[in-house]
Amino acid sequence: MMYKIDQARLGELFAAIAEKKDLFLPVKKADQTDFALWTKEAEVDLDTLRTVKSPKDCFFPQSETLYNTSLEEGKLSIDAAALCDRDFVVFGMRACDVQAVKVLDNVFLADPVDTYYAARREHAVLVAGACHEPEETCFCKVFGIDAAAPAADVATWRVGEALYWKALTKKGEALSEVVKEHLTPAEESAVEEAQTQIRSIIDKLPYSHLKLDVFKETPMMELFDSDRWEEMYKPCLACGTCTFVCPTCQCYDIRDFKTKDGVQRYRCWDSCMYSDFTMMAHGNMRTSQMQRFRQRFMHKLVYYPDNYEGMFSCVGCGRCVSKCPAALNIVKVIKTMGGEG
């Protein structure tokens, strides 16, 4: 069922959601837009196409406590961190970032389930916005993602003065129910023209026609042994930016933080681009940046798809394309390996 709300009244919609659930949405702070908790004062920014950081830390925070331990008279005690028990809404996600959550689900919800992640997923409602002005760095189409019809709990479109709202799942319908007094029924066809337009812009984007067949058809070891990695990696600074901004990168570290009463064991994002990622007493299995660079892209384009029925661990969001200080990125890798479309 399609609904709509006047865009000028979105503040009321947000307030109504926030009354019942935590609401995260793109907020502009110091000229940078990222997902943040909604407040009346927040400068909501639905125009910026892509947040600098992806919304993945709504589900897989950059750092989170797993448990606390303390030692008293030689006796250890362990106190598990509480799981998320508050419903929350992530509003304004893009189709690519929604797909990225599915990429993470495959890893974190597989047996044995990561209960911290699972609790957040259970309590989350994903509200996505169609991308009316896709950018040159976008290549979601390559991964079969339709930015004109994001596959979230609720999809929204901004057409004219209105924001159109359509629930696609039970969770989405429940959210519609919560805010129903702010919504008025609308015609399904109201967004069709906008959708056609989005699809036609996307079709003309420079990276929309990259081909991924080479990664499906070439034997893994042939790709691994390719001379192209050596040609490509050189400018890489091993800064890890590409992994931190990436909505699908899921590597983490587990570390300890000493508090005044004990030890907090937390996990935090880590990066396969760092030289100590695989360091061991008897050596390091990836001693050169070439090997680490290759690992990141082989994982996204070959290893992950091998484990998950061909699904790639890249959603074409373009964050690594715009943020790498050395102008390296997955598009270059795809093209260099033979995926020029």
Q: What is the binding site for ligand SF4 (CB under 6 A)? A: 236-242, 245-248, 273, 300, 314-320, 324-326, 328, 330
- 79, 45 contact by CB (below 8 A): no
Q: CB of residue 269 vs ligand FAD: minimum separation in angstroms?
A: 19
Three-state DSSP state, 65: strand
C-alpha to C-alpha distance for 230 and 337, rounded to whole angstroms? 12
Q: CB of residue 315 vs ligand SF4: minimum separation in angstroms?
A: 5
Nearest to 92 by CA among 157, 138, 182: 157
Site for other proteins in 116-155 (CB under 8 A): 116, 119-120, 123
Indicate which of ligand FAD, other proteins, ligand SF4, none lies near residue 278 (CB less than 5 to 8 Å, by partner kind). other proteins
| Contact with other proteins (CB under 8 A) among 299, 318, 329, 333 | 299
Q: CB of residue 294 vs other proteins: minimum separation in angstroms?
A: 9
| Contact with other proteins (CB under 8 A) among 26, 262, 316, 318 | 262
| Contact with ligand FAD (CB under 6 A) among 78, 268, 279, 285 | 279
Indicate which of ligand FAD, other proteins, ligand SF4, none lies near residue 240 (CB less than 5 to 8 Å, by partner kind). ligand SF4
Q: How far is CA 67 from CA 62, 64, 81, 86, in A?
A: 16, 9, 5, 19
End-to-end CA distance of the chain: 38
Q: Any idea which residue has 């303390």 for tokens?
A: 70
C-alpha to C-alpha distance for 116 and 13, rounded to whole angstroms? 29
Q: CB of residue 205 vs ligand SF4: minimum separation in angstroms?
A: 13
Is residue 254 within the footprint of ligand FAD (CB under 6 A)?
no
| Contact with ligand FAD (CB under 6 A) among 112, 281, 309, 327 | 281
C-alpha to C-alpha distance for 300 and 293, rounded to whole angstroms? 11
CB-nearer residue toward ligand SF4: 164 or 312? 312
Q: Which stretch binds ligand FAD (CB under 6 A): 39-47, 79-87, 278-286, 294-302?
A: 278-286
Q: How far is CA 89 from CA 78, 82, 93, 248, 294, in A?
A: 31, 20, 10, 20, 36
Q: Which stretch binds other proteins (CB under 8 A): 163-171, 207-215, 226-234, 263-271?
A: 263-271
Q: CB of residue 269 vs ligand SF4: minimum separation in angstroms?
A: 13
Indicate which of ligand FAD, other proteins, ligand SF4, none lies near residue 116 (CB less than 5 to 8 Å, by partner kind). other proteins
Label residues 192-229 b or e (16+ Cβ within 10 Å = b).
eebbeebeebbeebebbebebeebeeeeeeebeebeeb
C-alpha to C-alpha distance for 299 and 52, rounded to whole angstroms? 23
Site for ligand FAD in 57-96 (CB under 6 A): none
- Phi, psi (rounded to 5 degrees) for 249: -65, 130
C-alpha to C-alpha distance for 273 and 308, rounded to whole angstroms? 23
Site for other proteins in 7-36 (CB under 8 A): 22, 24, 34-36
Is residue 307 within the footprint of other proteins (CB under 8 A)?
yes
Which residues would be at the binding site for ligand FAD (CB under 6 A)? Answer: 279-281
